[in-house]
């Protein structure tokens, strides 16, 4: 593989939401940026649930622009459901996209950087739900907890190669993942009220933090919560006060 332009960026899941905001920042700074996604405006189509698709997307990217030095993984899916009601197929799908997919992407890029003897930076999108208990979001929480630990182990393994690996942990952020929920809904209004900085997160808030992490050359293996202080409350109860079963007398 050839190194090509050394200071290019790759945003996986960059066609919408937080990823699109990262792309906007890079392109405003004239950084050559490649977008992988499965929908919207992308440069290379890639379903991160498919290992062959990742390998193909990497080949296309390297041929066009060389090996990217700043890699951001924002691709992921949401999920809501009690653990007792979540099906094995649902569980597997959430893990496949939110944990396995980022692992495959980061691994592929780390191998490419190592083969070309290039240093680089990787940032994956985890969540405050990786360490806070969110009722009805067990599968999602578990997938993000797995991703956060993956980042730490990858940072330890790939540090000697000159590859830094970090993660960002957004709180509740207004992205397409929230679906049609209006900002004035009782739940989102309550989240805003509980957030010390007084509002919901926006994609540019998270994107600025991601780009900043890429620039911190002495930081690796860290998960930076970017949530306006929301995670200072524990736990976040998405659907109101937890209903407790009466104790047996």
CA distances to 89, 106, 113, 120, 231 from 69, rounded to whole Å, are: 35, 12, 8, 5, 31
Residue 6 DSSP code: S
> Containing H/E element for 201?
strand 201-202
Listed residue (4, 119, 20) closest to 60, CA to CA: 4
Q: Say if residues 122 and 219 touch (Cβ distance below 8 Å).
A: no
Active-site residue, from 42, 140, 233, 239: 140
Q: Say if residues 139 and 167 touch (Cβ distance below 8 Å).
A: no
Residues contacting 88, CB < 8 A, separation 6+: none
**Region for 243 from its dihedrals, namely left if φ exceeds 0, alpha if ψ lies in -120 to 50, beta otherwise:** beta
Rounded to 5 degrees, what are φ and ψ at 133?
A: -80, 115
Q: Assess whether 239 carries a catalytic annotation.
A: no
Listed residue (144, 143, 142, 186) closest to 168, CA to CA: 144
Assigned token pair, 139: 């599968």
Active-site residue list: 140
């Amino acid at each position: 593989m050839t190194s090509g332009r050394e200071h290019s960026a790759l945003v996986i899941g960059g066609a919408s939401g937080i990823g699109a905001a990262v792309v906007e920042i890079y392109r405003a700074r004239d950084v050559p940026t490649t977008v992988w996604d499965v929908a919207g405006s992308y440069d290379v189509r890639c379903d991160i649930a498919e290992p062959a698709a990742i390998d193909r997307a990497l080949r296309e990217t390297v041929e066009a622009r060389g090996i990217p030095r700043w890699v951001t993984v924002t691709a992921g899916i949401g999920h809501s459901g009690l653990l007792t009601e979540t099906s094995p197929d649902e569980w597997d799908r959430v893990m496949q996209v939110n944990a396995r997919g980022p692992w495959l992407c980061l691994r592929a890029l780390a191998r490419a950087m190592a083969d070309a003897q290039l240093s680089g930076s990787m940032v994956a999108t985890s969540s405050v739900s990786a360490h806070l208990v969110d009722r009805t979001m067990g599968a999602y929480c578990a997938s993000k907890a797995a991703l956060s630990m993956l980042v730490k182990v990858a940072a330890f393994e790939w540090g000697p190669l000159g590859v830094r690996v970090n993660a960002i942990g957004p709180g509740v952020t207004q992205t397409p993942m929230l679906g049609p929920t209006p900002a004035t809904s009782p739940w989102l209004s309550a989240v805003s009220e509980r957030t010390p900085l007084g509002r919901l997160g926006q994609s540019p808030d998270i994107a600025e933090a991601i780009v900043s992490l890429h620039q911190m050359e002495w930081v690796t293996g860290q998960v930076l919560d970017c949530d306006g202080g929301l995670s200072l409350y524990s736990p976040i109860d998405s659907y109101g006060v937890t209903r407790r079963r009466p104790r047996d007398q």
